Amino acid sequence: MTRHLSVVLAVLLAACAQAPTSAPVAPVVDERAQLQSFREHYVALKVAARGEDVALLLREADATYALAPDVPMVIWLRALAQAVNAQHDAAFDSLSQLADTGLAFNIAASPAFAALKSDPRFEPLVQRFAENAAARGVVNLAFTASGLPTDFIPESIVRDAANDRWLLGSVRHARVDAVDDRGGAYDLVAERSGGLLSALGMRLIGDTLWVASAGFAETAGIAKADLGRSGLFEIDARSGAVRRSWFLPTDSQPHALGDVLLVGSDVYASDSIGGGVYRLDAQRESLHPVVAPGVLLSPQGMAEHTGDLIVADYPSGLWRVDVATAAMRKLRATVPVALTGIDGLYSHDGDLIAIQNGTTPKRILRIALSEAGDAIERVDVLAQNLFGWGEPALATIHDGALYYIANSQWDRFDAEGNLPPIEQLEAPRIMRLPLD
């Protein structure tokens, strides 16, 4: 669930205030304090970028960069700050660093870089960013879910191999549908069944479907009291009946459990707006914070690695969370790469597969970790900016391939949560990306 960073920023502004032994694990390190410092400086940097004090902008950019030199938006704002402060060589160095990440930025359109355009170093950078935006990978359409309404707005997909079907969760209609390989569909979990709100992240284990759910303006017919409510649902995948649900406490802050992950008998859910990660333990009593609310900026996808959680924080990157101690360590890369804007995250053959839909271009990445699991050694772009993509959403791995929602249409909502007329929307497309 990726589209509510304006809410996250508002919250930030108000608030700034036993692992397996198959691989060695790095010593426990907790970087919460550094993340809190980043949070505070990042907010201040965004505020400074909207003002006219260019000296303040540069100071905040340098301070934020010192804490997070791998965050593309920080590098971008620092380059902008350097340019408007007439530090042209430094600005070119920052822009080159940004191009090394593989992302695309329209530097020619920014007035901040007007003074750089006559420099012979400028046009090669423009070309590098253009090359970064080029399509990569192969379009491989698995099926079009033509049996679903075009305003279904799927966020998640899982494979129900036992019943030879796919399960897709709807943001707009607060339900889960079963879809066959030809695109035919029928309701499995009826709209708002058992109090279900928008169906976001899902995982299927046996005959149990776990669904992370939240109430948004984008949810059709949402009651005002349900805006910002969020819970975890246990559903019988055979009948579609809701067995149990656990809601986060109603407080002054909105919540959005957007992804769910099973590790052993424990169930984890990430709160993309509240900034926490929760565990539903084996006793199934209640949701307990593993990462307290407000620690992360916008946690999204999660994956398991040697017994720990890897959590994708949308604005800051990937974090390893020790589930026993709750200690957090940021996964830093030994190669230039952008790891922000990651929505879906999956484990496959010791690597991580990431759906990165908060960047330009949008990409699917394969991420190789170090033996200790505390650093990133290689990142391969498996696909990016392909024909037929809109805003890719979540995915599932089945038979050695990633099946992902290529056109969720989250990007078609306006600021009030309204969609264009239904005839202007598309049926969901599911694409297949071989991983083996």
Residues 298, 273: contact at Cβ < 8 Å?
yes
From 85, 75, 76, 95, select the one nearest 115 (Cα to Cα). 85
CATH architecture of 141-434: 6 Propeller (2.120)
DSSP 12: H
Residue 245: per-residue pLDDT: 97
Is the torsion defined by CA of 356, 359, 361, 365 positive or negative? negative
Residue 321 to residue 327: CA distance in whole angstroms? 6
Domain boundaries defined on the chain: 5-15+26-132, 141-434
DSSP 321: E
Residue 371: per-residue pLDDT: 87
Residue 90 to residue 241: CA distance in whole angstroms? 59
The SS3 call for residue 183 is: coil
Taking only Cα atoms into account, the Rg of the chain, rounded to an integer number of angstroms, comes to 21
Contact residues for 19 (Cβ-Cβ < 8 A; gap 6+) = 25, 306, 307, 308, 322, 324
The SS3 call for residue 49 is: helix
The SS3 call for residue 380 is: strand
Residue 166 to residue 155: CA distance in whole angstroms? 13
Angle among Cα 41, 290, 206 to the nearest 5 degrees reads: 130
Q: What is the pLDDT of residues 314-371, one digit of tens each?
A: 999 999 999 999 999 999 998 899 999 999 999 999 999 999 999 999 999 999 999 8
Tokens representing residue 266 in the block = 């424990």
From 41, 75, 34, 83, select the one nearest 59 (Cα to Cα). 41
Q: What is the pLDDT of residues 30-64, one digit of tens each?
A: 899 999 999 999 999 999 999 999 999 999 999 99
Residues 435, 368: contact at Cβ < 8 Å?
no
pTM exceeding 0.95: no
The SS3 call for residue 129 is: helix
Q: What is the pLDDT of residues 173-184, one digit of tens each?
A: 999 999 999 999
Residue 354 to residue 162: CA distance in whole angstroms? 26
Residues of the chain with pLDDT under 70: 1-29
Residue 402: per-residue pLDDT: 98
The SS3 call for residue 286 is: coil
Residues 237, 209: contact at Cβ < 8 Å?
yes
Residues 407, 429: contact at Cβ < 8 Å?
yes
